[in-house]
Structure 1
């Protein structure tokens, strides 16, 4: 039977610290807690490990602080606009006659740091030990879409400032920030190497030629009317430019009304919408829809936009005009005529034949009613 002699001071595993709380102080946050239950005899011989992180980070990447004989900790240089989580564990301080392992972790405590401005946050640089200094920083998503930030560095305080390139970007999950990063090549690896890095807004200059960036107003009063021979006339009012010699071209999109379907929210969608597009090069109206371009007895919707049409002037399509509508009239289908024509001809022939027979019969009856001397009995007896 194996037996051991155990001394109460060796080893010791305490209960977790209790009553964690965080409050904001003048320049940082103060984390406080109380000693574990049953540790009164060790109150002056305890050491604590404090770990804290942003709530979406893993505990493996958490920052850690070791403290002795104190139940509070100042947490500074926290990232603005972030939610943090902290926890604490305790063990007997080594060299005080006691030894043992850490307690279990305390319950977590969380808090939020105030929002910062538009400036990037959490600039960090890590050297890979060979030839690259990788720096990263965080930018709000809404800012990153409209403002470009660059990483600038000096290899020595006396060297010229350079810009790091290229800058890559990766979205962070569950937070409205993106991580931007860039690697600085290191050519001289020395313990005396001192890089100065900063992240700031980049200013970009671009020469914009007015003649190459014209965006006209969309056409107005767009309408379609029937003219003749099942043709329809498209008319519009163009917005003229200051210089009348600059011509415009147009694009029309139109579709059948019955290709729309109404959904639950009241809006109209079209899973089977077939949009037809026509490019119009003439500067002034009208444009003619031929009968081959439209279907009879159909309601159409359309919209129109404009753009400059000149080799010396370039630009972009205008916004679409207000949608307009028109309805085509009934028309005899081309497929029906070949079927009707033979039947019509046969009908006419039958009617003509019947009319001819009727005419002959009426003529015979009429002739029989006319007196004929050759058939008179008196004349026949006289001739005898």
Structure 2
């Protein structure tokens, strides 16, 4: 592997002279990531990635093949060693991954900011596809957040990482049967047969649609109401798709649906997605944070009884009645219907609609 590293022009560094290994940040069988620190010359934050021979064979070449793209993690160099490890020096993302960032900072991104983030991801994926590489594990957890700026959209910066499930289209992986399938994110053609030929740019496009849904859902796990992946697999093979998140513009929702087309050939390429995101209109947002005034009670009832929702048993209630209920129009998490004795105040209506996007605050789907 050392010869290969030199062929890619990577700089060689030494522990104790150039780089110091700090606390362990992540560890799994065959791969450990440490916080790193330069000892001389440079001050930019870094991580140290140690991979054994098995992980190196599966993952290392992809980092080298797509190095030096603005929106893909940069491998800055390597450390020569005598224990048959491949040790990369990579840049450190101070804000962590996108999934964690959205979970810890709900409602930080506006829809225009999200559109910019999705554009950067699509740009990176277009480059990856041009190298005839399938990432295979696209999700918010594998997007690193380097910079967040709500005032200057182009100043936001994210980068794709983790090529642990990646593969070259023209070369079947040596241990393909050992690779995990991310059921909730992957395309249905992979779930159906899992042949090497099922992995393509268009299977990654499907996953991008799920990533967009996940990000707009504040990092909610896709199909979170379903515990077992086997059940999710059957749902996806039966063409049961994720429902529209909120906030979400019509443009982004239409893009997601294009990404999820059952026929991979009909899905757009990343180049086309890049073009669409460059001109997408997010002004038709259903973002309640901007569309509902503090002095206005929502009068648009999103659901109808016995058409979208069916009321069942009375559960109780002191200031109104709380009923067990079920969805008719969609498959979702279990719900209750709260029948209020009086019309909600302006402030109460605002609380129900504006502050339901955090994972630890009860979610209000809408009014009936």
Q: TM-score with structure 1 length normalisation?
A: 0.22
Relative contact order, higher structure (CA 8 A, sep 6+): 2
Q: Which has the higher helix share?
A: 2
Larger radius of gyration: 1
